[in-house]
């Protein structure tokens, strides 16, 4: 029985190997969001509680399941016709990156995106509040 379990886990790991970098990147973004969120909460003098950390753990599980599901759909049902995995990973990445930027803006006390656009001399910076 133990041998079958070992072989099954090995097959599962080999099957998911192509999306390992995407799963790790998603996890890193969630951890970065959690850390910057805690720093922003400290800056706002808000208490940091376990419920907020638990939400990050739930988000990690849901996002990882979404990426794995997209991979299964793309690979075994669509046969690579559409890059569903990259689209799902990209959306997750953008959401987390936006949250990180918001947290960093709170920590810095100013809108980081606007500051960067101002430094670059972009005309788009004028439209940001």
Query: Would you kindly state where each structural domain of the chain is located, as residue ranges?
Result: 17-127
- The pTM score is 0.83
Residue 63 or residue 111, greater confidence: 63
Q: Kindly tell me the sign of the dihedral angle through the C-alpha atoms of 125, 95, 20, 31.
A: positive
The more confident residue out of 52 and 102 is 102
pLDDT confidence of 128, banded at 50, 70, 90? low
CA-to-CA dists, residue 71 to 16, 29, 84, 92, angstroms? 8, 19, 7, 14
Q: What is the per-residue pLDDT across 96-122, written as a single tens digit (0 to 9) for each?
A: 999 999 999 999 998 888 888 778 876
């Amino acid at each position: 029985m133990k041998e079958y379990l070992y072989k099954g886990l090995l097959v599962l790991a080999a099957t998911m190997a192509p999306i390992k970098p995407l799963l790790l990147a998603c996890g890193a973004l969630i951890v970065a969001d959690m850390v910057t969120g805690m720093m922003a909460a400290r800056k706002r003098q808000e208490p940091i509680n376990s419920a907020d950390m638990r939400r990050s753990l739930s988000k990690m599980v849901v996002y990882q399941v979404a990426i794995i599901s997209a991979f299964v759909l793309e690979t075994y049902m669509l046969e690579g016709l559409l890059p569903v995995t990259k689209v799902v990973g990209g959306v997750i990445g953008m959401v987390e990156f936006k949250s990180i930027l918001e947290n960093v803006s709170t920590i810095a006390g100013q809108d980081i995106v606007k500051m960067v656009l101002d430094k670059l001399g972009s005309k788009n910076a004028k439209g940001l509040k």
